[in-house]
Amino acid sequence: MLVQKNMIFYIFHSLTWKLIFTIGSMMVIWGVLFTYLFIANNPQVKTVEVLLYGVSFVIVISTALGIILYSFVTKPIGKLVDAMGKLAAGDMEHRIELKNKDEIGILAGSFNSMSGELKIYKEKMENWTKELEQEVEKKTAEIMRAQEQLINAEKLASLGRMVAGVVHEMNSPLTGIITFAHMMLKRTPEDRTEDIEDLKVIIGQAERCSRIVSGLLGFSRKAASEKKKTDINDLIENTLMIVKNQMKFHNVTFDLQLDKGIPDIIVDPNQMQQVFINLLINASDAMEGRGKVTIATSIAKEEDGDYVEIAFHDTGPGLPPEIKGRIFEPFFTTKPTGKGTGLGLSVSYGIIKKHEGQINVSSQPGQGASFYIRLPLRTKEAPEINTEKARG
């Protein structure tokens, strides 16, 4: 019953019915008027016959008109309405198949074009949304890693302060050991050669410990940046004295190829030592604590002046090409979580740039990595540096 009511409602409210009703009503009105005039002028004609023919004519014309309107107007518009409903429901694949060349056909073509563009736009929006979600997840993970790395950096800073205090306290007993060992050496008779050799070993090892402790204390002490004339070769050797006695360097061999003709240059020795230590620790980690590190110094001549070049070569696995361009980014690290802060190379890069220098990396997978530091012989702070030592 409800379906019948809906059908009747649709029929009497459709465009076709409205047109038929309007045109039929006009035909009936004109037919009645024509019949009245025709009968008035021709009294011999029977009224019943005129009405019969007139009604039949109106019915036939209305039916033909309804079929024509349904075929060319109502049916195409119904397809448009159905297609709009499907589009509103999210079906953007639906297309209207109309071959009409009239306005309704043009409207159907425009609808099909609109559906296609909406589909493309929807796909772009979905892809953009996925990319945005992935980027948000990526940035969230980076923020979390950065937070963890900052916490680790703070831990390292606290550890550095603690180490500074410990090594400062160690100087006194080491001084006592060296002093009393020298006193015992003086009191030992010359014929007791074995005891003399043992005391010399004690003195030598204690002095070595003292140099290591002094180096650690100088490195960990937070001093104001101070650039001064520095022998880069001596600074490298002092740095090695600090690191090579650490556990992670016990199976690492060092090959020094230092050019003794290099003149002193103006640098902050503490900051440069920090750069060297960062590079050496990275090399040891890359080689998993077992391999060879070659350190070479030389003079490099460029169009804008002469440079001291310090090269660090390791025998590790090398760097993949896709990460070579990112290794100097803050917080970027290839080490497992908790094993590195990702700040070492970034800080080193900043220090070298502050010294008006350059730091670059060269690497091939499976052939180790090489870091090249170039520091100018002449700087704005010290244009008077003489390079004759290097040339002579």
Question: What is the SS3 string spanning 308-374?
Answer: EEEEEEECCCCCCHHHHCCCCCCCCCCCCCCCCCCCHHHHHHHHHHHCCCEEEEEECCCCCEEEEEE
**What pLDDT is attached to residue 288?**
85
Do the Cβ atoms of 186 and 196 come closer than 8 Å?
Answer: no
Report how far residue 243's alpha carbon sits from residue 236's, in angstroms, rounded to the nearest whole number.
11
**What pLDDT is attached to residue 298?**
93
Residue from 236, 330, 252, 325 nearest 285 by CA: 252
Token pair listed for 22: 């309007």
Total Cβ atoms within 10 A of residue 289: 13
Residue from 265, 215, 217, 257 nearest 240 by CA: 215
As a residue count, the chain comes to 392
Total Cβ atoms within 10 A of residue 134: 10
Q: Which residues pair with 312 in a beta bridge?
A: 295, 371
Token pair listed for 1: 């019953």
The domain made up of 223-391 has a fold known as Heat Shock Protein 90 (3.30.565)
Kindly report whether the global pTM for this prediction surpasses the value 0.75. no
Domain ranges of the chain: 2-91, 223-391
Total Cβ atoms within 10 A of residue 31: 19
Report how far residue 360's alpha carbon sits from residue 38's, in angstroms, rounded to the nearest whole number.
109
Report how far residue 351's alpha carbon sits from residue 348's, in angstroms, rounded to the nearest whole number.
5
Do the Cβ atoms of 381 and 265 come closer than 8 Å?
Answer: no
**What pLDDT is attached to residue 392?**
38
**What pLDDT is attached to residue 321?**
74
- List, for residues 69-103, the tens digit of each pLDDT value: 777 776 777 777 777 777 777 777 777 776 666 66
Report how far residue 50's alpha carbon sits from residue 68's, in angstroms, rounded to the nearest whole number.
27
Q: Which of 237-248 are b and which e, b meaning 16 or more Cβ less than 10 Å from the residue's Cβ?
A: ebbbebbbeeeb
Residue from 144, 95, 152, 85 nearest 119 by CA: 95
Q: What is the residue type of 222? A: K
- What is the CA 174 to chain-centroid distance, rounded? 50
The residue behind tokens 């019969």 is: 52
Token pair listed for 126: 């979905």
Which parts of the chain have pLDDT scores under 50? 2-4, 338, 382-392
Q: What is the residue type of 125? A: M
Report how far residue 342's alpha carbon sits from residue 371's, in angstroms, rounded to the nearest whole number.
17
**What pLDDT is attached to residue 105?**
72
- Left (φ > 0), alpha (ψ -120 to 50) or beta: where does 356 sit? left
**If 0-12 CB within 10 Å is exposed, 13-18 middle and 19+ buried, where does residue 286 land?**
buried
Q: Which of 103-129 are b and which e, b meaning 16 or more Cβ less than 10 Å from the residue's Cβ?
A: ebeebbeebbeebeeeeeeeeeeeeee
Which residues, 6 or more positions from 260, have their beta carbon under 8 angstroms from its beta carbon? 233
